[in-house]
Amino acid sequence: MSAPGVVSHFDAVVVGAGFAGLTMLFRLREIGLSVRVIERGSGVGGTWFWNRYPGARVDVPSMHYSLAIDPNLEQDWNWPETFSAQADLERYANHIADRFHLRSDIQFDTTLIAATYDEDRNRWWVGTDGGDTIECKYLISAAGCLSATNVPDFAGLESFGGSWYHTSRWPREGVDLTGKVVGIVGTGSTGIQAVPVLAEQVKHLYVFQRTANFSVPSKNKKMDPDFQRDWKTHYDDHRKVARLTSSGLSWPEPPTVSALEVSVEERNRVYEDAWINSSYTPLGLLRGFSDIATNLEANETCAEFVRNKIRQIVKDQQVAELLCPKDHPIGTKRICVDDGYYETFNRPNVTLVDVRGDPIAEVVPTGLRTTATQYDLDVLVFATGFDAMTGPLLAMNIVGRDGLTLRDKWNAGPVTYLGLQTVGFPNLFMITGPGSPSVLANMTTCIEQHVEWVRDAIEHMEHGGLVTMEPDAEAEDRWVHHVNEVADFTLFKQADSWYLGANIPGKPRVFMPYVGGFGNYRAKCDQVVEENYAGFSFT
Ligand code: NA7
């Protein structure tokens, strides 16, 4: 292919300036590469730049959800709450960008719209919506797993006379909902966080629920300064533990005892303890026994414990039953973390609408119509999730060797080696790509492990005078097989989740993240390096 009108040359282009992109830039500078980061937003933070809907908050405890890039950073930074709010996470991202002078290498308000591999020159040509062309040796996607928004294709949406928002594109200046009748569609993690906060602001809130989800209370509170001080004293130890565990958290591994081996009283004591102490990590509920993720009967004991909590909290038992998830094992969809979600349905200004039983038919100028009823609304909020994991990558229109598009290659679902690279696309790296633990473990631990691995691989290439790096087809096949084999061992495929692409009409049903545990995965990646990058070929 011939070179388009060249504008600029960099060693590496990184897509995205969230935690992954910022960390990647930081690490590539360490080895002296010239880097251009392309960021669609006008600021840094990625997920925490975009998701500014009311109630947005991370579902991993703050001390775990922070980066290890610099020992002084982790000592200097103070988290105000045990579960950080969006504003604090965005502030943290900005602090990192300023502290390490990263902004000069970031091009904001720019979307990567095309990336084509030039086999003659062994370079990527990257095109942006601003008309720039950038030539680079390495193309690294740090575009995130949950950044391509999913707005349902409801008939009549364009006719709506009120305002509508997707939660992940919430206006920076906020939305005044005082006195408004608001409808929210979606009861995943986002909807469950937004509902209690919206309910306090609006005149009336209709919650349109298609699938009930399991949620545990975050018990979010002000950070205890002694706890934070103590954690910082032992930060190194916590990081070491987090690098070995299946969750990527500094958190003990689940016990080896089955939920079915203990008495009902003992089982409920373990669940109750996790429910009450969920401020440490809400995942505790799923980790009380060894087989909640793998044995349906064991899983059901945990699921029923949560359903009974819902029945106790929600006064109207008809509403409570509707809120009780019964169509998927607990944990097979991301368990949600809330601040008073179920309690909100005891408010007189909140109505739960079951759109499984009475589906949404269309949006009308004055609101939303289900098959049986019309709801007049001033504002419509879509908490309808994302085209997860593959969506952001496919949107880049990536064309590899021999004109092969990533879209064609992944036609039947994503295939990668270790979630880091895919055959036919030399020097294209993915941070937390499909086939890696990513969304099933602590994201910050996953991001840093990938970033460091990619930095080391690139350093290896630069020192060795190597031009391209690409997985072997056989290694990729073996990894894809392994990712599926491990997922088959669990209950995960029993839920219509975004992990499987089931939330996007027409998306291939393939389990995308690696469920074999972060610690195992990390060991595998390290072993590959020790064996001189086994499964990868270099030219
Ligand atoms: P999720 O978890 O994908 O939730 C989206 C919600 O929107 C879920 O309740 C969906 O119901 C609902 N939805 C989606 N499309 C429709 C239509 N067409 N009609 C009715 N309801 C619909 O996204 P979140 O943003 O909440 O969370 C994503 C991740 O971010 C989360 O797991 C954390 O990791 C952070 P469904 O279940 O498909 O029936």
DSSP string, 400-450: -GGG-BHHHHTTTS---BTTTB-TT-TTEEETT-TTSSGGGS-HHHHHHHH
Q: How far apart are CA 398 and CA 407, in angstroms?
A: 8
Looking at the structure, tell me whether residues 280 and 133 fall in a common domain: no
Residue nearest to atom 32 of ligand 1 (CA): 334
| Residue 250 near residue 239, CB atoms below 8 Å | yes
**Each residue's pLDDT tens digit, 400-432:** 999 999 999 999 999 999 999 999 999 999 999
Residue nearest to atom 33 of ligand 1 (CA): 189
Domain boundary among 382, 411, 445: 382
Number of neighbouring beta carbons within 10 Å of residue 101 = 9
Q: How far apart are CA 128 and CA 126, in angstroms?
A: 7
Examine the pLDDT at 214 and tell me if it is beyond 50. yes
Closest-lying ligand 1 atom to the alpha carbon of residue 382: 7
Nearest to 480, CA basis, from 403, 407, 422, 400: 422
- The answer to whether residue 2 sits within a structural domain is no
| Residue 150 near residue 503, CB atoms below 8 Å | yes
- Whole-number Å distance, alpha carbon 324 to ligand 1 midpoint, is 16
**Which CATH number does the domain housing residue 468 bear?**
3.50.50.60
Q: Where does 262-383 show beta strands of DSSP type E?
A: 336-338, 350-354, 360-364, 367-370, 374-376, 379-382
Burial of residue 505 (number of CB atoms within 10 Å: 0-12, 13-18, 19+): exposed
Domain boundary among 364, 382, 400: 382
Question: In whole numbers, what is the pLDDT of the chain averaged over residues?
Answer: 96
pLDDT of residue 1: 38
CA angle 59, 61, 64 (to 5 degrees): 120
Examine the pLDDT at 168 and tell me if it is beyond 50. yes
Domain boundary among 382, 405, 437: 382
Looking at the structure, tell me whether residues 367 and 436 fall in a common domain: no
Q: Write b or e for each residue in 49-74: b if 16 or more Cβ atoms lie within 10 A of its Cβ, otherwise e.
A: bbbbbbbbbbbbbbbbbbbbbeeebb
Take residue 493 and report the two structure tokens written for it. 């495929």
The stretch 385-389 carries a mean pLDDT of: 98
| Residue 179 near residue 203, CB atoms below 8 Å | yes
Looking at the structure, tell me whether residues 125 and 181 fall in a common domain: no
- The answer to whether residue 530 sits within a structural domain is yes
Nearest to 203, CA basis, from 169, 228, 231, 178: 178
Residue nearest to atom 14 of ligand 1 (CA): 384
pLDDT of residue 2: 38
Looking at the structure, tell me whether residues 115 and 207 fall in a common domain: no
Examine the pLDDT at 440 and tell me if it is beyond 70. yes
pLDDT of residue 283: 75
Burial of residue 140 (number of CB atoms within 10 Å: 0-12, 13-18, 19+): buried
Looking at the structure, tell me whether residues 34 and 179 fall in a common domain: no
Helical (H) or strand (E) element with 248: none
- The answer to whether residue 1 sits within a structural domain is no
- The answer to whether residue 93 sits within a structural domain is yes
| Residue 300 near residue 331, CB atoms below 8 Å | no
Looking at the structure, tell me whether residues 287 and 410 fall in a common domain: no
Looking at the structure, tell me whether residues 244 and 308 fall in a common domain: yes
What is the pLDDT confidence band of residue 174, given thresholds at 50, 70 and 90? Answer: very high
pLDDT of residue 153: 94
Looking at the structure, tell me whether residues 189 and 259 fall in a common domain: yes
For 523, residues 6+ apart whose C-beta sits below 8 A from its C-beta are none
- The answer to whether residue 500 sits within a structural domain is yes
Looking at the structure, tell me whether residues 170 and 225 fall in a common domain: yes
- The answer to whether residue 294 sits within a structural domain is yes
Examine the pLDDT at 279 and tell me if it is beyond 80. no
Examine the pLDDT at 6 and tell me if it is beyond 70. no
Looking at the structure, tell me whether residues 262 and 123 fall in a common domain: no
Question: Measuring CA to CA, how many Å separate 287 from each of 255, 259, 312, 486, 494?
Answer: 8, 10, 23, 18, 19
pLDDT of residue 278: 67
Residue nearest to atom 4 of ligand 1 (CA): 188
- Substitution site in 60, 206, 210, 363 for ligand 1 pocket (most atoms within 8 Å of beta carbon): 210
Look at the chain and report how many structural domains it folds into: 2
Q: How far apart are CA 307 and CA 309, in angstroms?
A: 5
Task: Render 485-515 in DSSP notation, one character per residue.
Answer: HHHHTSSGGGS--GGGTTTSTT------S--
- The answer to whether residue 496 sits within a structural domain is yes
Examine the pLDDT at 529 and tell me if it is beyond 60. yes
Examine the pLDDT at 252 and tell me if it is beyond 90. no
Nearest to 338, CA basis, from 302, 314, 368, 304: 314
Number of neighbouring beta carbons within 10 Å of residue 346 = 13
Residues with CB under 6 A from ligand 1: 146, 152, 185-191, 210-211, 334, 355, 360, 383-386, 439, 498, 503
Residue nearest to atom 35 of ligand 1 (CA): 189
- How far does CA 253 lie from the centroid of its chain? 22
pLDDT of residue 170: 98
- The answer to whether residue 407 sits within a structural domain is yes
Q: What sign does the CA torsion over 62, 68, 72, 73 have?
A: negative
Nearest to 271, CA basis, from 341, 318, 331: 331
Domain that holds residue 251: 157-382
Looking at the structure, tell me whether residues 301 and 161 fall in a common domain: yes
Looking at the structure, tell me whether residues 324 and 210 fall in a common domain: yes
Examine the pLDDT at 453 and tell me if it is beyond 60. yes
**Each residue's pLDDT tens digit, 58-105:** 999 999 999 999 999 999 999 999 999 999 999 999 999 999 999 999
Q: Name the pTM for this structure.
A: 0.97
**Each residue's pLDDT tens digit, 287-326:** 899 999 999 999 999 999 999 999 999 999 999 999 999 9
The stretch 219-241 carries a mean pLDDT of: 96
- Whole-number Å distance, alpha carbon 356 to ligand 1 midpoint, is 13
